[in-house]
Structure 1
Amino acid sequence: MSYSHILLAVDLTEESDQVATRAVELARSNGAQLTLVHVIEPLSFAYGGDVPMDLSAIQDQLDEHAQNRLNSFADKLDASVEKLYVVSGHTETEIHRIAKQDGIDLIVVGSHGRHGLSLLLGSTANGVLHGASCDVLAVRVHKPESED
């Protein structure tokens, strides 16, 4: 199967490099466009929406920091990146939305491969897989040697 537009979903941890390497290889070998997305879960999700203060300034700072980190991440890739997205919301939902909106035919995500059937792919990779309208590649990531 040949792919024309690949969406690389990254969490911007050190392990994102492993996932990006695979996505770049696939984009290059297929002559495909490459789009990157990083999803930030809003602070209100973490606090259940019942926060007695306005978190919008903090959220804006988090969004700006994430955009800067994603730009730096894209700059170090050995590939041309079509679009960069930093979006707020539920991770799987936002990845699916971007994939449909941009006509993506392959989503590449990282998977930690935890033990047990319910954690086979990891919760994010599993959620992306089950709601996607296109192919999904879950790349097995490994912790850096110093953490093993």
Structure 2
Amino acid sequence: MLYKKILLAIDLTDESIKVANKAAELSKAMGAELVIIHVIEALNYAYGGDVPIDITDIQNQLKETARERMTVLESQIDVPVKETCVTQGGIESEIHRIADEKDVDVIVVGSHGRHGLALLLGSTANGVLHGAPCDVLAVRVHRSE
């Protein structure tokens, strides 16, 4: 199967470059466009909508910091990036929404391969897999690498 458009969903942790490099390799091999997304989980979403203070400034600062880190990441990979997107909301639902909206063929995410309780509760990679409108590639990352 030929992928024409790849959505790289990153969390902007130190391991993001490993996942980005895999997406870049896939993009090169397939001649595919690369779109990068980072989702900021809305604080009111994370806390069930019950945040007693105005968090607009905090959310705006989180978005600005994310955009800056995305620019750095984009400069570290050796393929052109068609588009970057910093969005806010539920992580899995936003990734699914953007994948559908951009008509991507595959979503690339990092997976820490957690076990035990974290595995039981589910991971972001697992959440992205279920309900994705396309293929999902989970890139295994280890903090010790």
2:41 and 2:15 map into 1 onto residues whose CA distance is: 19
* Map of 2:103 onto structure 1: 103
* Map of 1:42 onto structure 2: 42
Instruction: Give the alignment's TM-score, normalised by structure 1.
Output: 0.91
Q: Does residue 1:124 correspond to 2:116, yes or no? A: no
Q: Does residue 1:23 correspond to 2:40, yes or no? A: no
1:124 and 1:19 map into 2 onto residues whose CA distance is: 14
Instruction: Give the alignment's TM-score, normalised by structure 2.
Output: 0.93
| Aligned AA (1:97) | R
Listed as ranges, the gaps of 5+ residues in structure 2 are none
2:117 and 2:43 map into 1 onto residues whose CA distance is: 30
Tell me how large the CA RMSD over aligned residues is: 1.7
| Aligned AA (2:18) | Q
Q: 1:144 Cα deviation (Å)? A: 3.1
1:94 and 1:47 map into 2 onto residues whose CA distance is: 17
Aligned residues: 144
Structure 1's consecutive aligned runs of 4 or more residues displaced over 6 angstroms after TM superposition are none
Q: 1:116 Cα deviation (Å)? A: 4.7
Query: What does the per-residue CA deviation read over 1:50-102, in whole Å, with 9 as the maximum and x for residues that have no partner?
Result: 22211111111111111111111112111100000000000110111111111
Identical amino acids, percent of aligned pairs: 59
| Aligned AA (2:33) | Q
